[in-house]
Amino acid sequence: VPAFAGSFGIGYLGLRGSYVTAEDQATTSSVIDDQRTFKDGWGVTGFMGFVIDEALRGEIEAGYRINNIEKVRVDRNALLPASAGNEFNVDGQVDMGLAMVNLYYDFHIEGLPVLPWVGVGVGGGHVNYQFIYDYGDPLAPAMADASDWQFAYQLMAGVTVPVGQSTSMSLGYRYFKTEEMVFTDAYANEFRTDLTNQSLDVGLQFHL
């Protein structure tokens, strides 16, 4: 069985599913500072790759990821100081569409039935940030809604396993991070934060 991308030709197409965990997110503003906790989410990606040489291959991908916001812990609230130190339930989510360009290095080890690899990617994520929160303010709940493109990068590692004459599977880990983004809540407060998540990925490649 031809084992890996370079064994089949110069290109491949694939689909990937992801189990996504988002790290706690610190947000700051002139009025409120808080920490936001996310529920585990999911992602799906389509990609197209091409072999550069025996060890290097490039890839372009387009995908979607989503995590729901679970709760918020207020660290500082200039308008309602008594809310500091408390946790509040939140109804909201962060989802994004991704467009990334990746470069992989494959480790061809004689006698090893799988192909280990590492990779790095850069691109952009169109982040949609929506939530409803209640910090004890009598005017709450208030809505915040932001949507914008952000620069993003990712680091990857995993293995590829042959499963047929023209197909293979990949198992991988991915670390993903955006640049700092700014969004405005219903009170016109500007919040600054970034988004970091990690995922376990399962992919299926169709080699050309």
Question: Mind listing the pLDDT tens digit for each residue in 81-108?
Answer: 887 888 887 778 899 999 999 999 999 8
Q: Does residue 201 register a pLDDT over 90?
A: yes
Tell me the pTM.
0.85
Q: Which has more confidence, 207 or 16?
A: 16
Q: What is the pLDDT of residue 6?
A: 46
Strands (E), the chain: 11-22, 25-27, 32-38, 41-51, 56-77, 87-106, 115-133, 142-162, 167-178, 181-184, 190-193, 196-207
For 29-81, how does the pLDDT look when each residue is reduced to its tens digit (9 = 90+)?
777 788 889 999 999 999 999 988 888 999 999 999 999 988 888 888 887 78
Helix (H, G, I), strand (E, B) or coil at 183: strand
What is the CA 35 to chain-centroid distance, rounded?
19
Distance CA 3, CA 7 (A): 6
CA separation (Å) from 86 to 13, 33, 66, 100, 174? 48, 12, 26, 38, 32
pLDDT tier at 1, thresholds 50, 70, 90: very low
Distance CA 162, CA 18 (A): 20
- Buried b / exposed e across 109-140, counting CB within 10 Å, b at 16+? eeeeebbebebebebbbebebbbbbbbeeeee
Are 194 and 5 in contact by the 8 Å Cβ rule? The answer is no
Distance CA 85, CA 71 (A): 13
For 137-190, how does the pLDDT look when each residue is reduced to its tens digit (9 = 90+)?
555 555 667 788 999 999 999 999 999 888 999 999 999 999 988 877 666 777
